[in-house]
Amino acid sequence: MFQILHDINLDWLGNRRWFITVSVLLMLVGLGSAIFRQATGRQAFNLGVDFKGGTVVTARFKQRPGDEAVRQALDEKGVRDAVVQPVTDRPDTVLIKVPLIEGVDGRAQVRDALNKFGKEAPASAELEADPGASYKIVGTDAVGAIAGAQLRNKAIAVTLAALVGILVYIALRFEWTYGAAAVIAVFHDVLVTLGFFSIFQIEISLNVIAALLTLVGFSVNDTIVVFDRIRENRRLHRRDSLYKITNDAINQTLSRTVITNGLVFLSVLALVIFGGDVLRAFSLALFIGVVFGTYSSIAIASPIMVWWEQRIEAANRQAALSFNQPRVIKATSPAKTPKQIRTS
């Protein structure tokens, strides 16, 4: 039996101050970037055509270059995140969608980039009539956002509702403190990722939103695996403190954490490296999400849960003492019947 990690005994919770400090710092840096940019009149996030709208330029070529070549030409002129879509029923034509930038003429930008392939035919002449020209811009239209403000608000509301669903389910299966800790960890992951997107001004498209939802899934999955082990250990070792039990649980699931998340990490890394420019923002969001999703279940969710449970326990003890009664530890009593389901 080949084994990566075996009999690990690390004091994870002992480092909780470090973990929390690092996380808070990361979130503050991201938040700072967003607020600073917004305050100085720039954009907090680089929202793409999906959110902001932009300009669709229709260009007709004598010999249409490949989509990738067109995208590259745009990239060279500093037009990032353009959508290049060939018109299949007119093979010489291509649609180029560029995001709206205040004070910049989308058509001029595209023309500037397309001049790489040759001269544009003058507005008065047909493309075929001008032997020196190689393309002509035949249409420029402004397009609105696909996801307008209404849709965006709805998406946020739906995501929050989904998080409440997660909270309630975990609260039912574990304790509500577990649910709250898991959801806080998820918020942390999303905020750190968004902060990263703000700092480096990577374009946020609808696909990036899907990646964010994916990282929520990863993060919750990871947190539940650890919590599950904590629940089991509390049943088996009733004498142990929650602190020790949690450390043990993290250590026991560590080989699983390393293998699963390592594999996912490598797969997503492959997507970042080989997935191409168009998918880069999407795969980067996934990548950061996997890293912080793993980190947060150990470094955020578990310490918060332990801290919270200990406070409840202390408060109960206080209450019990002040009534001068025998000690009753209510909320965190390990004697509580564990919830269990049977396997098929």
Q: If you search the block for the tokens 């995208």, which residue do you land on? A: 71
* Tally of CB atoms within 10 A around 265: 16
CB 174 within 8 A of CB 182: no
Q: Distance (Å, rounded) from C-alpha 162 to C-alpha 167? A: 9
Q: How far is the CB of 143 from other proteins (least distance, A)?
A: 5
Q: How far is the CB of 304 from other proteins (least distance, A)?
A: 18
Q: How far is the CB of 24 from other proteins (least distance, A)?
A: 26
Give the residue with the Cβ less far from other proteins, 241 or 267: 267
Q: How far is the CB of 339 from other proteins (least distance, A)?
A: 9
Query: Can you say whether the dihedral through the CA atoms of 321, 230, 232, 167 is positive or negative?
Result: positive
Give the residue with the Cβ less far from other proteins, 33 or 246: 246
- Helix 16-39 and helix 176-199, axial crossing angle in degrees, nearest 10: 50
Give the residue with the Cβ less far from other proteins, 46 or 294: 294
Q: 3-state DSSP call for residue 62?
A: coil
- Cβ neighbors of 152 (< 8 A, separation 6 or more) are 51
Give the residue with the Cβ less far from other proteins, 54 or 303: 54
Q: Distance (Å, rounded) from C-alpha 307 to C-alpha 274? A: 42
- Cβ neighbors of 217 (< 8 A, separation 6 or more) are none
Structure-block tokens of residue 139: 């249409």
Q: How far is the CB of 229 from other proteins (least distance, A)?
A: 8
Q: Distance (Å, rounded) from C-alpha 242 to C-alpha 227? A: 12
Structure-block tokens of residue 219: 């993060």
Q: How far is the CB of 35 from other proteins (least distance, A)?
A: 27
Q: How far is the CB of 322 from other proteins (least distance, A)?
A: 37
Give the residue with the Cβ less far from other proteins, 270 or 314: 270
DSSP one-letter code for 59: E
Give the residue with the Cβ less far from other proteins, 16 or 231: 231
How far does Cα 213 stand from its chain's mean position? 7
Give the residue with the Cβ less far from other proteins, 101 or 269: 269
